[in-house]
Amino acid sequence: MIKLKILAVALDAHALEFAKSCLQNYELDYVNNSEEFMKYYDTWKSDSYDAVICGLGWEDLPAIELSQSLKMTFIQAPIYFVALDSQMQEAEILIKNGFLDCFYYPMDKNFISITLREIERNVTGQSLERLVEVSLAEIKPEDQLDFELSLYLSANNRYIKLNNRGTKLSPRIISNLDRHSTSHVFVKESQLKQYYSFLTSKIKNLTPSPQQKKAAARRLFHDLLSPKNAAFAEGKEYVEYANQVIAEYVKSPDLFNFQKELLKSTGSTDNGLYEKAQKVSTICGLIALTTEIVKTEDIVIAALMCDLGMSQMPIEVLEKTESEMSPEELDLYHTHVAKSLTILAGKRIVILPKVRDAITQHHERFDGKGFPEKRPGFKICTEAQVLSLAQQLEDLLRIRPRQPRLSPQEAFKLIAGNGSINPDILNEVRHLFSASPDETEPQKNSGKVA
């Protein structure tokens, strides 16, 4: 049987015994002083241990120096700082110098236990159910949760469980999540029904007032994108809550399922197209609800249907960015807009002219460098520009393992500076990317956005 290999360095005796009590199949080596550390240091290999737990260190070798030395040796293994409550250090400095996270015993007993057990499950090969990323925005300390939440550690591509079913998130866990500006968590696929049932109960609290619903949609947009309050999440069903909000406005609760069935009917695997379409349509719908520069129904339908043609693309094209495609692949990729319309026509689906224009023009750019027609900005419809903005946001804010995540403000700045979107439209949505979800929107100009 595979065992978890743990190295404990300068760890308090009580914390050490507690760490052992959290594990079942493990081997643990303990280094008790700086002389032992230097003796063994040159014998360690990069894969000698699966995880390292480090305490305050010693007078001649403090925790920060230990972490830096350990990180140089154990490049892949997570290194955790664990000390007594009375020995609390500045977490930000410790993490900056190599620790993945900081815990204090006994205050963080639950968090330490969850972390170590999840590492053990990953290393020892216990089967893990697929996890789906969801927003943390609506989950409050007082909420009783009928589903388990897990946290993804991108530095070593692992998950730690945050709670058990039927319990609340402890104040200490919430404090840890907040301290690290954590805003996205994961739910087991088998427990998504319970998660969305929880969110549905939240949505019922929305007031019937149009202005207040609009404000609620603005906050939801902010929560979905904000790295502080809630992540722009991955996962095929992460936008379920926002979908339900939007469905109330478009009065078509089956709209998102319809798109999924339509995609299936093309006879191709979706290769993530359904997931992406849900995300993009969610952004589009919330922009429409909060700015009113386009009609919500039109932009949501356009976002769901605009990339149906991608289902006809070979996998080698789908897996590349435009900059990575050969000229031949790029020409093929450019045909997906027309293919989307062909699929809709073949299914005898009638769409409004504004929806058709949005689909046709969503890859056109304000600077005239888009495709398929290289239209100048004044000939591109507003719906297509909003759709383009949403697709760029989805791409820039996507979670990529071991890569730093852009903030929504950084993503918006990149889009605003690349020449693809009408400056008037950028001005209309700029308030959505403020630090506060309650910032008032700009005064409307008379007439439509150019």
Residues 6+ positions from 199 with CB-CB distance below 8 Å: 138, 240, 241, 244
pLDDT (0 to 100) of residue 238: 38
pLDDT (0 to 100) of residue 235: 32
Structural domain boundaries in the chain: 1-126, 209-433
Span 1-126 CATH architecture: 3-Layer(aba) Sandwich (3.40)
Mean pLDDT of 113-121: 80
User: What tokens were used for 74?
Assistant: 């154990």
Residue 2 vs residues 27, 85, 117, 120: alpha-carbon distances, Å: 10, 33, 14, 10
User: What tokens were used for 193?
Assistant: 């029904």
pLDDT (0 to 100) of residue 236: 35
pLDDT digits (tens, 9 = 90+) for 426-450: 999 998 887 555 555 555 544 445 4
Q: What percent of the chain has pLDDT over 90?
A: 32
Q: Quickly state the pLDDT bin for 246 (edges 50, 70, 90).
A: low
Helices (H), 46-152: 63-73, 91-96, 109-124
Mean pLDDT of 138-160: 80
364 touches 396 (CB < 8 A) = no
pLDDT digits (tens, 9 = 90+) for 204-241: 555 455 665 566 556 656 655 653 333 333 333 334 54
Residue 31 vs residues 39, 187, 317: alpha-carbon distances, Å: 10, 37, 52
pLDDT (0 to 100) of residue 289: 81
* Cα-Cα-Cα-Cα dihedral sign, residues 59, 63, 68, 69: positive
408 touches 226 (CB < 8 A) = yes
pLDDT (0 to 100) of residue 373: 95
pLDDT (0 to 100) of residue 247: 58
Statement: residue 196 has pLDDT above 70:
no
pLDDT (0 to 100) of residue 248: 52
Residue 53 CB: number of other CB atoms within 10 A?
25
Q: How far apart are CA 314 and CA 131, in angstroms?
A: 27
Statement: residue 170 has pLDDT above 70:
yes
pLDDT digits (tens, 9 = 90+) for 376-407: 999 999 999 999 999 999 888 876 654 666 78
Statement: residue 30 has pLDDT above 80:
yes
Question: Within 13 A of 378's CA, how many CA atoms are on the CB side?
Answer: 0
CA dihedral 216, 219, 220, 222 (to 10 degrees): 160
pLDDT (0 to 100) of residue 250: 55
Q: Which of 57-66, 189-198, 242-251, 407-416 has the least mean pLDDT? A: 242-251
pLDDT digits (tens, 9 = 90+) for 77-109: 899 999 887 777 877 788 888 898 888 887 777
Reference 308, options 246, 239, 244, 355; nearest CA is 355
For 23-175, strand residue ranges (E) read: 26-31, 51-54, 57-58, 61-62, 79-84, 101-105, 131-135, 149-153, 158-161
pLDDT digits (tens, 9 = 90+) for 255-308: 555 556 666 655 555 566 777 887 888 889 889 888 889 998 899 889 988 998
Length of the chain measured in residues: 450
pLDDT digits (tens, 9 = 90+) for 31-54: 999 999 999 998 999 889 999 999
Question: Within 13 A of 398's CA, how many CA atoms are on the CB side?
Answer: 14
- First-to-last alpha carbon distance for the chain, in angstroms, is 67
pLDDT (0 to 100) of residue 20: 87
pLDDT (0 to 100) of residue 111: 74
Mean pLDDT of 366-373: 96
pLDDT (0 to 100) of residue 416: 96
Residue 229 φ then ψ, to 5°: -95, -40
209-433 falls under which CATH superfamily? Hypothetical protein af1432 (1.10.3210.10)
pLDDT (0 to 100) of residue 243: 57
* Mean pLDDT, all residues of the chain: 80
User: What tokens were used for 147?
Assistant: 């589903």
Residue 88 vs residues 10, 81, 92, 394: alpha-carbon distances, Å: 15, 10, 12, 39
Residue 170 CB: number of other CB atoms within 10 A?
16
Q: What percent of the chain has pLDDT over 70?
A: 74
Q: List, in sequence order, every residue forming a beta bridge with 79; answer none if it has no partner.
A: 52
Mean pLDDT of 346-360: 90
